[in-house]
Chains A and B, each alone.
Chain A
Amino acid sequence: NAGVMQNPRHLVRRRGQEARLRCSPMKGHSHVYWYRQLPEEGLKFMVYLQKENIIDESGMPKERFSAEFPKEGPSILRIQQVVRGDSAAYFCASSPGPGIGGANVLTFGAGSRLTVL
C-alpha cells in the first residue's frame, strides 16, 4: 500500500511560469483534497475533487489556480503565472468517499514544496 504519492517533492519556478503538482491517491480512494500551507501557518483547504468532478472549490483562489482529477491518472493542481506569494507547501490527501467505511479519514501525502524565485 503505497499511500498518497505526491510529486515533485520540490519544485522551483520563476515568476510567470506554470507549476503543476501531482497527487496519486491511495489505492481504493476516489476522493482527493488539496491543502496549502504557508510558512508558520496551518493547512488551508483549497479544493475537494472526485474523479472527473469538483465537489468543493471554495478555498481555491479565483485566478491562476485550477485542479482536476481525471478518470485516469493523478490529480493535478495547476498554478499559472506563479508569483512569489505562491511559495508554499501543497498537501494532498485522499479518502474513500462518503458512505464508505472510513470515508471521513483523510490520508495525507508528504507534500510538494513550491519555491517561486
Chain B
Amino acid sequence: AQTVTQSQPEMSVQEAETVTLSCTYDTSESDYYLFWYKQPPSRQMILVIRQEAYKQQNATENRFSVNFQKAAKSFSLKISDSQLGDAAMYFCAYRNPWWDDMRFGAGTRLTVKP
C-alpha cells in the first residue's frame, strides 16, 4: 500500500516567488521522521529538510520550510525566493523510528521560470 503520496507530479514557479509542494502520508506510528529530498539531474539525492514527528515546531532550512500537520498527516514543503538552481525532482519520504522502513512518494518535478 502506498504510504507517502505526492499529488502534484509537476509544479512551476517564477524565479523569486514562493512555491509549496504537497505530501501526505499514512502511518499508525506516533513517532517517526519525515524528509524532503531534492534530486537534480546528477541523480544524487540531496536531503533538503527533515522533521521529527515529536517536534511541534516546523523545521526550517534557509529558504526551505515545512508545514507539518501531524493530525492531518500532511508534510508540505515551502520554497521561498525560488532560484533557478531549485529546479529538480523533489521526493517526500517517511521513515519509522527503527530505521527499518523508509517510504518515498512518487516525486514532484519543480520547474523554475526565469
Contacts and interface: CB of A to CB of B under 8 A. Distances in A.
A and B associate: yes
A108 B100 contact: no
B107 A113 contact: no
B68 interface: no
A81 to B, nearest CB: 24
A91 B102 contact: yes
A45 B99 contact: no
Name the prevailing secondary structure of the A interface residues: strand
Contact of A113 (B45, B91, B100): B100
B103 interface: yes
Interface residues of A, number: 24
A39 B107 contact: no
Contacts of A89: 99, 102
A45 B43 contact: yes
A9 B100 CA distance: 8
A56 B43 CA distance: 10
A42 B89 contact: no
Interface string B41-64: 011111100000000000000000
A34 to B, nearest CB: 11
Given A42-B37, A89-B99, A110-B101, A105 B45 contact: no
Interface of A: 9-10, 33, 35, 37, 39, 41-45, 48, 56, 59, 89, 91, 104-108, 110-111, 113
Interface of B: 9, 37, 39, 42-47, 89, 91, 99-104, 106-107, 109
